[in-house]
Amino acid sequence: MPVELTPAEGRAVWYGPEVDYRTEGMHVLSPGEIAEIDGALAHLHSLGTLDFPDIIPETFPLPTLGEFFRGLGRELLHGRGFLLLRGLPRERYSLDDMGLIYYGLGAHLGRPVAQSYQGELLGNVIDVSDVEAQARGYHAGGGQRMHSDNCDLVSLMCGRAARSGGISRIVSAAAVHNTLLETRPDLLEALYGEWVFRRMELDARYGTGPLTKTVVIFSRASGQLTCNVSGSYPYRAVQAGDAVMTPTQNEALNEMARIAASPELYLDMNIGEGDIQFLNNRTILHGRTDYEDPSEFAKRRHMLRLWLQMPTWPPLPANQGMQSPADYPLWLRQRTRFMEVPTRYLAEMTRRKAELTV
């Protein structure tokens, strides 16, 4: 059935060159707010060595900032869909304490969920492709094209900046949608249609099981224009023989990628050490520019990542996104205690690299 194509409206439609995120999308922590974070961290440490699932609003109390984060959830849903939190003094904290603070803040905003079949609740976004075979984008270096993840809200904290490059690049999915409507409505209609995507094999095996899923890229079923797209999943389905992509579908993916990467639409955001970025994964596509890294793991660009479910948001349609909420608890079965602690993670990667060089 043909889709009735109409422009997206509201604050979610924005164009990068017209936005100054420093004045329109950034919150700088006040001394009082930083003191509240310090108090929450001290309280957390007083409880002993807690694992990440035990970090909840009650164990990381934020009497004032907690209300700010509840409001932030509403703003990210109904507003432009992004915020940069700045002012956390990176030099004051160890990398592991940065992880605890970050997870504690995230617990006041939403519910952290597993990010892959490995069950990690706190992602270490760092290039480990020299020790991890078939490393995914968050474990590989270099730039990333615009895409979305499989959660309601995706967030990054910068623990260590790259030697050069590695700028966060975001774009309004609604602006991409409206540009396609103006220039190639035939391709936009295809993006509302059904596609076969193929999951990563281990995500499927340790999750709900099925390797393929029939999805849509754009949808209005939740009452809001939402988007979920990855450049690899549809091509994986074609390569595996699960689907045949029509010429129109192939052109639609390519044109969507081209528009999303256009300087007329995207916004570059510099995430400095200690900064935290929050993105509405339903309305924002994100990527990064190429970057340069040292060879030593402990000196490489190192971001921490949270995937958050937002229980107060309307549920996404079941046919949008590669994973389902049922996957997250199944993936957690592979998780081991403290596996995400940044220094432990770096030590494990260093150990594996040493074994490869023997």
What is the pLDDT at residue 278? 98
Q: What is the DSSP letter of 278?
A: E
The letter for the amino acid at 334 is Q
**pLDDT tens sequence across 212-261:** 999 999 999 999 999 999 878 999 999 999 999 999 999 999 999 999 99
Residues making up the chain, counted from first to last? 358
Q: d(Cα 85, Cα 15) in Å, to the nearest integer? A: 21
Pairing of β 82-86 and β 26-28? parallel
Across the chain, which has 358 residues, the per-10-residue mean pLDDT values are 82 97 96 98 97 98 95 96 97 97 98 96 90 75 89 96 92 98 97 95 93 95 93 92 95 97 97 97 96 87 96 92 90 96 91 81
The letter for the amino acid at 196 is V
What is the pLDDT at residue 130? 84
Quick one: tokens of 323? 């994973």
**pLDDT tens sequence across 115-124:** 999 999 999 9
What is the pLDDT at residue 135? 67
Q: What is the DSSP letter of 129?
A: T
> In angstroms, how far is CA 272 from the centroid of its own chain?
17
What is the pLDDT at residue 358? 62
- What dihedral angle (degrees, nearest 10) is formed by the CA atoms of 60, 63, 67, 70? 20
Quick one: tokens of 179? 């540009």
3-state SS string for 193-252: CCEEEECCHHHHHHCCCCCEEEECCEECCCCCCEECCCCHHHHHHHHCCCCCCCHHHHHH
Pairing of β 195-198 and β 212-215? antiparallel
Q: d(Cα 262, Cα 248) in Å, to the nearest integer? A: 21
Which residues, including other chains, have CB under 8 Å from residue 35's CB and lie 6 or more apart? none
Bridge partners, residue 306, by sequence:
155
Bridge partners, residue 84, by sequence:
26, 277
Q: d(Cα 151, Cα 280) in Å, to the nearest integer? A: 9
The letter for the amino acid at 53 is P
Q: Which of 82, 203, 196, 212 is nearest to 136 (CA)?
A: 203
The alpha-helical segments, DSSP class H, found in the chain are: 21-24, 31-46, 65-78, 95-109, 173-183, 185-192, 201-206, 232-239, 247-260, 327-331, 342-357
What is the pLDDT at residue 1? 41
The letter for the amino acid at 163 is R
Contact status, residue 276 vs residue 306, Cβ threshold 8 Å: no
| Domains (range + CATH), the chain | 26-357 (3.60.130.10)
Contact status, residue 283 vs residue 199, Cβ threshold 8 Å: no
Bridge partners, residue 268, by sequence:
169
What is the pLDDT at residue 31? 97
Which residues, including other chains, have CB under 8 Å from residue 120's CB and lie 6 or more apart? 114, 335, 339, 340
Quick one: tokens of 306? 């949270």
What is the pLDDT at residue 2? 56
Name the pTM for this structure: 0.95
Quick one: tokens of 132? 């991890």
